Chain A
Amino acid sequence: MSNIRIASPVDIAISGMRAESYRMTAIANNIANAYTTRGQDGQPYRRMEVVLSSSDGMSGVTFSQAEPDTKTGFLRVHQPGHPDADAGGYVSMPNVQLPVEMMNMVTASRAYQAGAAVMKKQQEIVDVAVELLK
């Protein structure tokens, strides 16, 4: 029906907001695990990165599962007292860098706000159109 046609930009904005909120989830997980030395298979935690993709036409943004960042290496920190330290006293720390995560968090939250602004503006536009009936 015609009301779905009107709401189409709302759907797209919502898909963007959902993607940004998923990015925020990954960032929260990265920050929470910034010092996790015992992740899966005994390795330190690897930071997760959300990969966004756009589907056909103009139907918004989609995302699949977050993927681990295998391109940057673990940080070697000298902590001889740490239970996971090797013979030389070095511990492998996750490849999470808090300033980078903070920066990503700012962009994710700003993009979320942008999606909300698009939705609000679309509603205002519909209001303007309805105003013409008066």
Chain B
Amino acid sequence: MAGITPISGMGALTPAAAGALRPAVGGEGNVDFGQLLKTAVASADKPQENVVATIQDLLSGKSKDVLPAVQAMAKADMSFKLLIGVRNKVIEAYKQTMSMQL
């Protein structure tokens, strides 16, 4: 089994990577939720910007290859779907909390 090299970038989520999603820590060690959301949206927005750039290159004739646009689109689609999934989950939790009987 020693000959098999591990696939790069498929390891478990390391604390360092998890730390990137925890930019603003409040006074009592609380994670600033708004900041967290902003970081998540920004990281999902980066592939979208990439899609815009590749499609602009394609339509303006700068690039004759459709594959970069397809590649960027697939990546952006997947990360955006993940973001939407997390958002739906968060909103669901919020709704459940708000409808709690006091």
Contact = CB atoms under 8 A, between A and B. Distances in A.
Contact of A14 (B71, B81, B88): B71
A5 B9 contact: yes
Main secondary structure of the interface of A (DSSP, over half): helix
A10 B67 contact: no
Given A2-B17, A10-B74, 19 more contacts: A2-B13, A3-B43, A3-B78, A3-B79, A4-B9, A5-B9, A6-B82, A7-B75, A10-B78, A11-B71, A18-B67, A57-B8, A58-B7, A123-B74, A123-B78, A126-B81, A126-B82, A130-B84, A133-B85
Main secondary structure of the interface of B (DSSP, over half): helix
B81 A130 contact: yes
A1 interface: yes
Interface residues of B, number: 27
B9 A126 contact: no
A1, A18, A119 pick with most chain B CB within 10 angstroms: A1
A21 B77 CA distance: 24
Contacts of B82: 3, 6, 126, 130
13 contacts: A2-B17, A3-B44, A6-B75, A8-B8, A8-B10, A10-B71, A10-B74, A119-B70, A119-B74, A122-B74, A130-B81, A130-B82, A131-B85
A71 interface: no
Interface residues of A, number: 26
Nearest to B68: A14
